[in-house]
Structure 1
Amino acid sequence: MAAQPDVSVIIGAYEAMPYLIDCLSSVEAQTIGPERIEVIAVDDGSTDGTGEYLEEFAQRAPVHVVVIRQENSGGPSGPRNVGLDKATGRYVFFLDADDRLGPEALERMVAMADRAGTDVVLGKVEGVNRSAPKSMWGATVERTDVFSSNIKFTLSAQKLFRRELLERHGMRFDESLFTGEDALFTMEAYLRADGVSIVADHTCYYLVGRDDGKHVTRSGGYTLRFDSARALMNLIAEHVPAGGRRDQLMVRPFLVTLLPQFGPKYLTDSEEVRRHKFELAAPLMDAHWTEGVARRLKVHERLRLHLVAEQRPDLLPDVVEFVKAKKQAAALLEKKGRRLYLAYPHFRDREAGIPDAVYLAEPREARAFPGYRESGVDTFVRRAVRKARSVWAARGARAAA
């Protein structure tokens, strides 16, 4: 009887040529050794030769390869679940067919999981012709969790998971979601894991931008983003009691999934789409938007989401235009202590009725604005106040005309 492999590499592939060639080569080149790996590749109804190339690779590769060919499922969740059902390794790693592994990726991640006894291992990700998450790679960490680190900002599935954890909790990808399904799966793994490790001293994963623009994360309409946000928010609420720890995690779906729907694209949306976005957001804001979440955001982020929560589509375009233009926000100094408020649109506008607290800035955020100096804040404030008042007075006059 063959020994149990250390890692089952699960590859869901759809129309993956020619990227699949480098992907599989990176698996073949792993320093962990071919006898410690199995590859489970699922061709999801490709018509570009992906399935044929997988079968050819299986015939000649030194690693054990299982190829499954099926009708197109419409998303990445189905193939990943098929792969999970077939996996026999102690760990599983989900590799996208258009990406590739660093040469020591699996060896380092398995060694880390075995040494630290952790259930999830993140390997450093580097973008190739596309952006990649950065804030969590400052140092290699043997044991952390989702509350003590920035790992909530990398919820892609390309991580090493202890298979026993997934089987114990019956974890699978939600096939009803067509975007954000990996965020749901990975967040649940973080929350259930007995520790998470970070390998930051070796690039383990190369996130490749496709020239044809067919990468799965670039597809899907705006309604799918709301579905994704709702699913992740509900998962967090289910697993984490109300309070600071829940608020800390809720920042992620609000900031990464929901807020972009009320960014620059909103300015070009039709009135119908704008109205629909507010309707879709309303139950999410009612259920999960709290003072604790708001306090953890920057002023312009908090302000936009406050307007969404208060159902004020009439005020939002001014704010989005202001942020898009990257104008210098003015600031006001509260008489009590040295509180600093960034005077984005509608600040202290009686008709708008937005609380001052929405505009309250942390010192680090305020220092990022041109003209601010810790020692000269009073001068900066007076100058900024005059400028802001004149700008908004002029806008009001034009509107009245």
Structure 2
Amino acid sequence: MNDKSVPDVSVIVGAYEAMPYLIRCLESVEAQTLGAGRIEIVAIDDGSTDGTGEYLDDFAARTSIPTRVVHQANSGGPSGPRNVGIDLARGRYLFFLDADDYFADESLERMVAMADRARTDVVLGKVEGVNRGAPGSMWRRTTARVDIYDSQVIYTLSAQKLFRRELVERLNLRFDEGLRTGEDALFTMEAYIRGNGVSVIADYTCYYLVGRDDGKHVTKSGSYTLRFDSVSALMALITELVPPGAKRDRLMVRPFTVGLIQQFGHGVLKQPKKIQRHKMALAAPLMARYWTPGVAARIKVTERLRLDCVALGRFDLLADMLAFVKAETVPEVVHRGRARTPYLVLPHFGDRSTGLPEESYRVTVPDWLGKPGLRRIEAPEAVRRRNSLPRRVVRGLRGQARHVALLRHRAA
């Protein structure tokens, strides 16, 4: 079916000071059941001084997998090496394998088969953390084609996925070398939005995300200003590619809840006032431009209120919200109107002088009161959907059937 001179997958490995993690990383590529003849490795030594470059050369000389090694001066981030790899890759698909991490044996075989079968441009293989956390909400079931606007895949925007090279070249997708963190989120989000579908493999762990013991993992480095840069860039990309409306609002939840809000967690209360003021100033234009009622309505009350405080420029109110959450206080629930709409009584509820509208306290998405598992609360709309006429009819018919069966059993 395929041109055998063209590998199925180009595994692109950007490596900087990667020893000894690089050893297991490359061994996992050699162990792939896809077979050496269907893989190529493009490895970029990004100015390492710990033996990474020498190990790559030795590996290339002895492995049965066609391997090309590029040595270059340090670029300062992962984007440059990945872009070099894209330019040199020949495979039908690309996979960006971090030098710290490693594959499970059947990873590439399963992902290529999924992409070929579903004809999708991006395949997500289940990720498991080793000595660190890993995203988990998107691995509920294996799905040949997901709707990015109605799934959890937007919560994994790292580069460790299978991308169809035709898509990458058609869109001229490259990693932003001006960003020092979050650059892969832009690449992946654009592939999600503009590509021909996304697949998810959830029934097999494909990728092991390793937390380095030496603390040199790139996601642990960099100042908070770099985080604001990456969040701003992702919000701008979504705005550019998706028209105003529900779809844009859904995608915009991601940079607000995984990115911006982390800058205003409990730790911010311990930071110097100068940094607190600077963070509020950096957030102000983002809140003014991108924080809309449609986005707010898709976020849980406690997170929404924190972001509302930031939008108002009120650090004092934010501190009150953080203290309430940290104390693990279970908020009272009050109901309004004939629909019995639930509102959570968090700090400053009903105090109009703060600028926080009562609407900010309304439950619009499923939420938990107290620790997860204590009490679940839902918006009336969700309850109504569950109790809609078709569902009630089905339940009624099932109930009648059980009743008839019981009468027959008694008669017998």
TM-score by length of 2: 0.88
Q: Tell me how far apart the structure 2 counterparts of residues 179 and 139 of structure 1 sit (CA, whole Å).
A: 30
Q: Tell me how far apart the structure 2 counterparts of residues 373 and 313 of structure 1 sit (CA, whole Å).
A: 29
**Other-structure match for 1:179:** 181
Displacement of 1:337: 3.0
Mapping of residues 58-73 of structure 1, within 5 Å: 58-73=60-75
Opposite residue 275 of structure 1, the aligned amino acid is R
Deviations 1:278-316 (A, max 9, x none): 111111111111101101111110001111111112211
Mapping of residues 47-62 of structure 1, within 5 Å: 47-62=49-64
Q: Tell me how far apart the structure 2 counterparts of residues 189 and 350 of structure 1 sit (CA, whole Å).
A: 43
- In structure 2, do the counterparts of structure 1 residues 18 and 289 end up closer, same or farther at CA, with 3 Å as the change threshold? same
Q: Tell me how far apart the structure 1 counterparts of residues 155 and 353 of structure 2 sit (CA, whole Å).
A: 37
**Other-structure match for 1:79:** 81
Opposite residue 135 of structure 1, the aligned amino acid is S
**Other-structure match for 1:226:** 228
Opposite residue 120 of structure 1, the aligned amino acid is V
**Other-structure match for 1:308:** 310
Displacement of 1:354: 1.5
Opposite residue 30 of structure 1, the aligned amino acid is Q
From 9, 12, 30, the counterpart of 1:10:
12
Displacement of 1:362: 4.4
Q: Tell me how far apart the structure 1 counterparts of residues 273 and 98 of structure 2 sit (CA, whole Å).
A: 37
Deviations 1:162-205 (A, max 9, x none): 00100011110000000000001000000111111111111110
Q: Tell me how far apart the structure 2 counterparts of residues 185 and 15 of structure 1 sit (CA, whole Å).
A: 24
Q: Tell me how far apart the structure 2 counterparts of residues 348 and 319 of structure 1 sit (CA, whole Å).
A: 14
Corresponding pairs, count: 374
Opposite residue 229 of structure 2, the aligned amino acid is D
1:365 equivalent to 2:367? Answer: yes
Q: Tell me how far apart the structure 2 counterparts of residues 207 and 247 of structure 1 sit (CA, whole Å).
A: 30
**Other-structure match for 1:193:** 195
SS in 2 for 1:220: coil
CA RMSD of aligned residues (A): 1.7
Opposite residue 206 of structure 1, the aligned amino acid is Y
Q: Tell me how far apart the structure 2 counterparts of residues 92 and 364 of structure 1 sit (CA, whole Å).
A: 37
Mapping of residues 158-177 of structure 1, within 5 Å: 158-177=160-179
Q: Tell me how far apart the structure 2 counterparts of residues 373 and 52 of structure 1 sit (CA, whole Å).
A: 55
Deviations 1:85-110 (A, max 9, x none): 10000000000000000100000100
- In structure 2, do the counterparts of structure 1 residues 363 and 301 end up closer, same or farther at CA, with 3 Å as the change threshold? closer
Could you tell which deviates more after superposition, 155-164 or 274-283?
Answer: 274-283
SS in 2 for 1:10: strand
SS in 2 for 1:227: helix
Could you tell which deviates more after superposition, 349-358 or 363-372?
Answer: 363-372
Displacement of 1:4: 0.6
Mapping of residues 245-324 of structure 1, within 5 Å: 245-324=247-326
Displacement of 1:351: 2.9
Q: Tell me how far apart the structure 1 counterparts of residues 285 and 279 of structure 2 sit (CA, whole Å).
A: 11
**Other-structure match for 1:123:** 125
- In structure 2, do the counterparts of structure 1 residues 107 and 366 end up closer, same or farther at CA, with 3 Å as the change threshold? closer
Q: Tell me how far apart the structure 2 counterparts of residues 297 and 250 of structure 1 sit (CA, whole Å).
A: 10
Q: Tell me how far apart the structure 1 counterparts of residues 86 and 339 of structure 2 sit (CA, whole Å).
A: 57
Gaps of 5+ in 1: 375-401
SS in 2 for 1:225: helix
Q: Tell me how far apart the structure 2 counterparts of residues 165 and 92 of structure 1 sit (CA, whole Å).
A: 10
1:337 equivalent to 2:342? Answer: no
Q: Tell me how far apart the structure 1 counterparts of residues 35 and 141 of structure 2 sit (CA, whole Å).
A: 26
Deviations 1:91-143 (A, max 9, x none): 00000000000100000100111111111111010111111111111111111
Displacement of 1:373: 8.7
SS in 2 for 1:361: coil
Q: Tell me how far apart the structure 1 counterparts of residues 249 and 326 of structure 2 sit (CA, whole Å).
A: 27
SS in 1 for 2:45: strand
Displacement of 1:259: 0.3
SS in 2 for 1:217: helix
TM-score by length of 1: 0.90
Displacement of 1:210: 0.6
CA contact (8 A) 2:297 2:365 kept: no
Displacement of 1:277: 0.8
Opposite residue 36 of structure 2, the aligned amino acid is P
Displacement over 6 Å in runs of 4+: none
Mapping of residues 97-112 of structure 1, within 5 Å: 97-112=99-114
Displacement of 1:367: 5.5
SS in 1 for 2:114: helix
Displacement of 1:2: 7.0
CA contact (8 A) 1:137 1:198 kept: yes
Q: Tell me how far apart the structure 2 counterparts of residues 128 and 242 of structure 1 sit (CA, whole Å).
A: 39
Displacement of 1:363: 7.6
Gaps of 5+ in 2: 378-412
**Other-structure match for 2:91:** 89
- In structure 2, do the counterparts of structure 1 residues 162 and 373 end up closer, same or farther at CA, with 3 Å as the change threshold? closer
Opposite residue 259 of structure 1, the aligned amino acid is I
Opposite residue 42 of structure 1, the aligned amino acid is I
